[in-house]
Structure 1
Amino acid sequence: MDRLKALPRDARDTLFLLVVIGWVVLPQVGQLPWWCTLLAAALLVWRGVLALKAAPLPGGRWVLGLLVLTVAATYASHRTLLGRDAGVTLIVVLLALKTLEMRARRDAFVVFFLGFFTMLTNFFFSQSLATAAAMLVGLLGLLTALVNAHMPVGRPPLAQAARTAGWMALLGAPVMAVLFMLFPRIAPLWGIPADGLTGRSGLSSTMRVGNVAQLALEEGIALRIRFEGAVPLPTDLYFRGPVLSQFDGREWRPLLPRMTPGTASLMPPDGLEVGGEAVRYTVTMEPNNRPWLIVLDAASSPPSAPGLDAFTGGELQWMTTRPAIDLLRYTVTSHVQYRAGARGRSAVVAPQYRELPPGTNPRTLQLATDLVRRAPAGAADKPALVRAALDLLRTGGYTYTLDPGLYGDDTADEFWFDRKQGFCEHIASAFVVLMRGMDIPARIVTGYQGGELNGVDGYWVVRNSDAHAWAEVWLAGRGWVRVDPTASVAPGRVGSLARLRPAQNAFASALGNVSPGLLASVRQAWEAVNNGWNQWVLNYTQSKQLDLLKNLGFKSPSWQDLSLVLIGITVAVTLAAIAWAKWERSRQDPWLRLLARVRQRLQQAGVAVGPTSGPRQMAAAVTARFGAEGQALADWLLRLEAQRYARHAPAALPALQREFHRLPWPTPAA
């Protein structure tokens, strides 16, 4: 520490700025190419060593050569120099390279600008509360360095610059808050990376059975749900996502590969009949780059949110016209008691729900034939055949595991006869293949099952680890009936709050061993705070802005009204600032204000007095210019000086102020 204090100011300031730059770039390490991370770190360390040794900076050829290599490597990594990822890679390396050219204060200002811009790019990848907190620290660091750069004289302590930067940020916070609340919302210019959940729990547009040897539980939050009334039973918490009905032997796909409002009319009608109490709730869905709207089975009306264009693609599935690249909040009304496809046109089942690719899973088809043969009523009693398949899962030694290994081509055969283990997608797929082998229409539904209540904020949290796959079979007179074969294999996986959890790290494991409840409480508190950030900041949409205007008395507010309110606040704040400046001026030292008035009157009378002239200098100038005519004014000026500096003032300031108006001011000679 003593060595750092003994460093020259330039070296100290440079090292501080390099640390701040490293902090700003650090959150992007996972998004940058490996070479970019290594190069940026090497450049910052190199610049730090040069500062410590007071060595000369490298020449322009070195920097130019590194720049050319950087551009080439960026193109090789991203196949373009445009776009978000390539742009962020370039800006990080340019920031690091610019530190090698930091020879003057002007160069430092360029580094500050690039640092602020790099700080902003962190939000291209994450808008989480943790990212915002980290960038607030980075902002204060860059402001401290900027303030310090404007203190060219001496060796001011960094703590002094940090206090000034803190006051700057604090004074700017109200302006930021007003702009945040009233500046018209503009959709973000960036999206989120493509779905990368292969080998991790979560939802996907297809389900390829057996290509994942080990499933990693992803503890990230998928949904937050606020129920307005009574919460359904845990066994009824099935949140519906993509429905997969076409099977090629290994992969399940939707009946239509790309759902749009136009193609949705081609889907079989839902024929939904609801009963029981309605469940009204609000879903806050994390960005997933998918068009699905996850709802509790079954939603009888479209999910509603300002600007949300929701439509049903059939199969009780709800979608939106554009992927969810931002936090999405919508309100839904569902009924856990329902019947679909039982009567009318909806009772006509499409042949795709019975189809199986020829030549696949022969042993499963033979099992289906055997079950039909053993059934008392044969193929006519479809419910009995479903129960027989579930009994086989329950009593046949089948297990639920996240580590089943890779499956071959006939995935259903391997599950029923060889491995007898898998996670929910293996079980649901094998079950639906068996159902279709018995000529029972069946399909796979993916979504989420269960969840947990956060006792801090009252939201139900559904995680990616709650992703689930179940089956639906069509039975005459009953329509599509949910059948969860995983419940027969592992009853604890369904309808229970005891969920499978990923392995904890050493710290979390030790904390859990010391106090099992403490870890859960800390986790819930953090998630509640993060949920507040999501609800009040990330989900502050234009509709909420317009609702704010409605509360202010606007009947039908628009973005033009937002602009007018913002302009009005700007004008009001400006006038308040002017009034404050006048008030502050009135609080100025009255002696100095009186002296300024004397200086102004003397200048009008033709007496040459400078802006720093004191009363004695002014008195001498008056005597020299006007002689005896100005003696009274000169005496008054000397008494004004004595009032300020004498041990015992001959006159009080109010008396001198009154005499100022009665003085015989000399007139300039013609």
Structure 2
Amino acid sequence: MLKNARILAASLPRDTRDTLFLLAVIAWVVLLQVAHIPWWCTALTVVVLAGRTVLALKGKPLPGWGWRVGLLALTLGATWATHRTILGQDAGVTLIVVLLALKTLELRARRDAFVVFFLGFFTLLTHFFYSQSLLTAAGILIALLGLLTALVNAHMPVGRPPLAQAARIAVGMALMGAPIMLVLFMLFPRMAPLWGMPTDSMAGRSGLSDQMRVGQIASLALDDSIALRVRFEGEPPPQRDLYFRGPVLTDFDGVQWRPLRSGFPANMELPANLQVSGEPVRYEVTMEPHKRPWLFVLEAATQAPELPGNQAFMTPELQWITRRPMNELVRYRVESYLTFRHGPLTTTMALQDQVELPAGFNPRTLMLAQQLRREVGAGPAFSEALVNVVLERLRTGGYTYTLEPGVYGQHTADEFWFDRREGFCEHIASSFVILMRALDIPARVVTGYQGGELNTVDGFWTVRQRDAHAWAEVWLQGQGWVRVDPTSAVAPGRTGTLERLRAPEGAFAGTIRTLNPNLAAQLRAVWDAVNNRWNQSVLNYTQGKQLNLLKNLGFNNPSWTDLVYVLIAVVVLVSLAGAGWTLWERQQHDPWQRLLKRARQRLHTLGLTDTEHLPPRALALRVRERLGDTPFSHSMTQWLLKLERQRYSRESPVTLAILQREYQQLAWPKEDVL
């Protein structure tokens, strides 16, 4: 098949071949953006590129300006209908992708090709708006080499140079530019907002939210993307104790849980009153961008995470938040105490928010609460006993854990406790908190991540979106807020090591796991480790690391201005080295040309002037005209013709070394013969 493709390419005119190659590169550039552009943008681009391919193969004329203006108007209208603007990140990317395709419809001259090249380079940059992963970088590298190949090929207008030759030159150019890119990466000052990719803070992504509707976290269980990577100092805690705290949800309207938005004065709000004991757990978190101002830490941290370039503070609910959204990969160090208590120890008016329930929802759950109060007792003294009774009901009442419980109706707690008796962590936690509040026990829902898995290749714990979890906190007299995970009562393996959630695998990965489970796990661990190394070494190369590099170079108290000075010094040194290399290269340039130049200079001493720019054959004619039919003229003419064949004939048996020896053996006249 590859051989047939080569034969077909060889039979095409050069213009057609070059156009098809450029269209293939553009298709690859657009393919990388398919996940981030509207469906109509992908469809329109495919139609335009396919139509341009047909026109190139059949040699038909390009469409007139009316078609192009119409398609442009259609693009602007569709962009406005999709994004409600033609400005901004998403709308801009949509437009640049379509414009790149439309520009191929007026690809008539080299100037048009150059515009397409640079539009392609610009479009490549937009990929980093959405992802800076290793796979994205690899795809962009392939597209970059393709565009460079097309650009080099466009600068070779004579003949039909093979694309392989242009590709070799493009790869060589990229390799020569790699040291410069490395220096700029290492030393160019990272100053916000110039450094980092601009993002739309209003655009969401897969991850936890600050509100929970029953069924939401279940969708995250199917998301295998990475949320956090954690490296512990020393022995890590047991997996069942890895609760990474996120938003705390208190307000419930019967449908959704939201954070507390109380109108109480500050002195009447619930205080944190965090008290810790035992040895702290020290660890480092590498958090993927989630476009929220949240930092996920193990419960509970007493001091703010060490966050470069941003400040974090703790809410009364023990959630750590920052001054601005986390729009890029960030790494921070934390100390957490797994043994802690928090909240007031005695009843306060602010706890009233934690027992409120909306009217008209879950009547059977309210009746169950009345029954339990009659059987066990009512009041703060019986709160812990009531919690244990409800947990025992979850263990022994036939409740099951499933990711597909079906769609719940208006009375979600009633359906869970009495009808379905199955659900995901959010169904269980929400129903548990509703029942606790019906029992007059202050309770709230806590969301975050639980558990993770150890990567044995690099020693990092990987927490994925499928590890998103919801649990409960109940307030007990004299103890404050106490974590209760009702999901553990239904399915203990969910928070342990036996029944971790697994996202659905593709056919290839599933086949490997079926044939060799250990190999599949090892390949996954290696890939995660490689991605983590990319994140740690490349994406997380911050200004702090740059300044540490300067410290290693001998700077006592480096700043970003020192980075500029070092960068300027490196640029000057590289420029001087480049100038020196150029001078040396000129002296060493093309031994064939140097040999011809020597012959011209020697003939000049014999009176042959005005020969500085003559090729070997013309020079041989000039020798025959000026020197006549002499033995030297004959041998010199033959030598010049051999020199020409050595340069331009593929079948010449004479090497340059032989010609150099023959030149030394020529019987040059002793004096000017003219």
TM-score (norm: length of structure 1)? 0.86
Show the counterpart of 2:537.
536
Correspondence 1:649 to 2:664: yes
Alpha carbons of structure 1 residues 522 and 24: separation in structure 2 relative to 1, 3 Å: same
State whether residues 124 and 191 of structure 1, in contact with CA within 8 Å, keep that contact through their aligned partners in structure 2. Answer: no
Secondary structure of the residue that 1:243 maps to in structure 2?
strand
Show the counterpart of 1:560.
561
State whether residues 264 and 314 of structure 1, in contact with CA within 8 Å, keep that contact through their aligned partners in structure 2. Answer: no
Correspondence 1:275 to 2:277: yes
Number of residue pairs matched by the alignment: 632
Show the counterpart of 1:545.
546
**Cα distance in structure 1, aligned partners of 2:329 and 2:220:** 26
State whether residues 280 and 331 of structure 1, in contact with CA within 8 Å, keep that contact through their aligned partners in structure 2. Answer: yes
Show the counterpart of 1:285.
287
Show the counterpart of 2:84.
79
Correspondence 1:117 to 2:129: no
Return the letter of the residue paired with 1:60.
W
Show the counterpart of 2:466.
465
**Cα distance in structure 2, aligned partners of 1:579 and 1:213:** 64
State whether residues 245 and 252 of structure 1, in contact with CA within 8 Å, keep that contact through their aligned partners in structure 2. Answer: yes
State whether residues 285 and 328 of structure 1, in contact with CA within 8 Å, keep that contact through their aligned partners in structure 2. Answer: yes
* 193, 201, 204: which one aligns with 1:195: 204
CA RMSD of aligned residues (A): 3.5
**Cα distance in structure 2, aligned partners of 1:123 and 1:354:** 46
Show the counterpart of 2:342.
340
User: How far apart are residue 342 of structure 1 and its match?
Assistant: 5.4
User: How far apart are residue 69 of structure 1 and its match?
Assistant: 2.0
Show the counterpart of 2:23.
18
Correspondence 1:385 to 2:386: yes
Once the two structures are superposed, what CA deviation does each residue of 1:501-550 show, in whole Å capped at 9, x if it has no partner? 23333332222111111221111111111111111111112222222222
Once the two structures are superposed, what CA deviation does each residue of 1:580-606 show, in whole Å capped at 9, x if it has no partner? 223334445899779979999999xx9
- Alignment map for 1:576-587 (pairs within 5 Å): 576-587=577-588
- Alignment map for 1:109-188 (pairs within 5 Å): 109-185=114-190, 186-188=195-197
**Cα distance in structure 2, aligned partners of 1:392 and 1:594:** 98
Alpha carbons of structure 1 residues 527 and 481: separation in structure 2 relative to 1, 3 Å: same
Return the letter of the residue paired with 1:499.
R
Secondary structure of the residue that 2:284 maps to in structure 1?
strand
Show the counterpart of 1:631.
none
55-64 vs 89-98, greater mean Cα deviation: 55-64
**Cα distance in structure 1, aligned partners of 2:32 and 2:404:** 32
Once the two structures are superposed, what CA deviation does each residue of 1:229-279 show, in whole Å capped at 9, x if it has no partner? 110011211110111112222221111389xxxx99985321111112211
User: How far apart are residue 561 of structure 1 and its match?
Assistant: 1.3
Alpha carbons of structure 1 residues 265 and 512: separation in structure 2 relative to 1, 3 Å: farther
State whether residues 147 and 165 of structure 1, in contact with CA within 8 Å, keep that contact through their aligned partners in structure 2. Answer: yes
State whether residues 213 and 406 of structure 1, in contact with CA within 8 Å, keep that contact through their aligned partners in structure 2. Answer: no
162-171 vs 93-102, greater mean Cα deviation: 93-102
**Cα distance in structure 1, aligned partners of 2:404 and 2:123:** 41
Secondary structure of the residue that 1:444 maps to in structure 2?
strand
Alpha carbons of structure 1 residues 466 and 396: separation in structure 2 relative to 1, 3 Å: same
- Alignment map for 1:217-296 (pairs within 5 Å): 217-256=222-261, 267-296=269-298
Unaligned residue ranges in structure 2 (runs of 5+): 627-635, 644-657
**Cα distance in structure 2, aligned partners of 1:160 and 1:467:** 51
Correspondence 1:37 to 2:42: yes
User: How far apart are residue 612 of structure 1 and its match?
Assistant: 2.6
Alpha carbons of structure 1 residues 57 and 393: separation in structure 2 relative to 1, 3 Å: same
Show the counterpart of 1:629.
none
Show the counterpart of 1:298.
300
Show the counterpart of 2:411.
410
Alpha carbons of structure 1 residues 7 and 617: separation in structure 2 relative to 1, 3 Å: closer
**Cα distance in structure 2, aligned partners of 1:81 and 1:377:** 61
**Cα distance in structure 1, aligned partners of 2:461 and 2:211:** 27
State whether residues 183 and 562 of structure 1, in contact with CA within 8 Å, keep that contact through their aligned partners in structure 2. Answer: yes
Correspondence 1:96 to 2:101: yes
User: How far apart are residue 652 of structure 1 and its match?
Assistant: 12
131-140 vs 32-41, greater mean Cα deviation: 32-41
Unaligned residue ranges in structure 1 (runs of 5+): 625-636, 665-670
Once the two structures are superposed, what CA deviation does each residue of 1:148-190 show, in whole Å capped at 9, x if it has no partner? 1111111111111110000001001111111111112213223
**Cα distance in structure 1, aligned partners of 2:48 and 2:255:** 49
State whether residues 238 and 450 of structure 1, in contact with CA within 8 Å, keep that contact through their aligned partners in structure 2. Answer: yes
Identity over aligned pairs, percent:
60
**Cα distance in structure 1, aligned partners of 2:78 and 2:219:** 34
Secondary structure of the residue that 2:404 maps to in structure 1?
coil
**Cα distance in structure 2, aligned partners of 1:362 and 1:349:** 25
Alpha carbons of structure 1 residues 154 and 309: separation in structure 2 relative to 1, 3 Å: same
Show the counterpart of 1:307.
309
State whether residues 271 and 343 of structure 1, in contact with CA within 8 Å, keep that contact through their aligned partners in structure 2. Answer: no
State whether residues 283 and 329 of structure 1, in contact with CA within 8 Å, keep that contact through their aligned partners in structure 2. Answer: yes
Alpha carbons of structure 1 residues 500 and 162: separation in structure 2 relative to 1, 3 Å: same
Secondary structure of the residue that 1:326 maps to in structure 2?
coil
User: How far apart are residue 218 of structure 1 and its match?
Assistant: 1.2
Alpha carbons of structure 1 residues 211 and 137: separation in structure 2 relative to 1, 3 Å: closer
Secondary structure of the residue that 1:226 maps to in structure 2?
strand
**Cα distance in structure 2, aligned partners of 1:397 and 1:648:** 101
**Cα distance in structure 2, aligned partners of 1:134 and 1:324:** 25
**Cα distance in structure 2, aligned partners of 1:652 and 1:542:** 70
Return the letter of the residue paired with 2:204.
D
Secondary structure of the residue that 2:261 maps to in structure 1?
coil
State whether residues 207 and 251 of structure 1, in contact with CA within 8 Å, keep that contact through their aligned partners in structure 2. Answer: yes
Show the counterpart of 2:653.
none
Alpha carbons of structure 1 residues 126 and 196: separation in structure 2 relative to 1, 3 Å: closer
Secondary structure of the residue that 1:381 maps to in structure 2?
helix
Alpha carbons of structure 1 residues 192 and 17: separation in structure 2 relative to 1, 3 Å: farther
Alpha carbons of structure 1 residues 295 and 348: separation in structure 2 relative to 1, 3 Å: farther
- Alignment map for 1:450-599 (pairs within 5 Å): 450-587=451-588
Secondary structure of the residue that 1:30 maps to in structure 2?
helix
**Cα distance in structure 2, aligned partners of 1:213 and 1:275:** 34
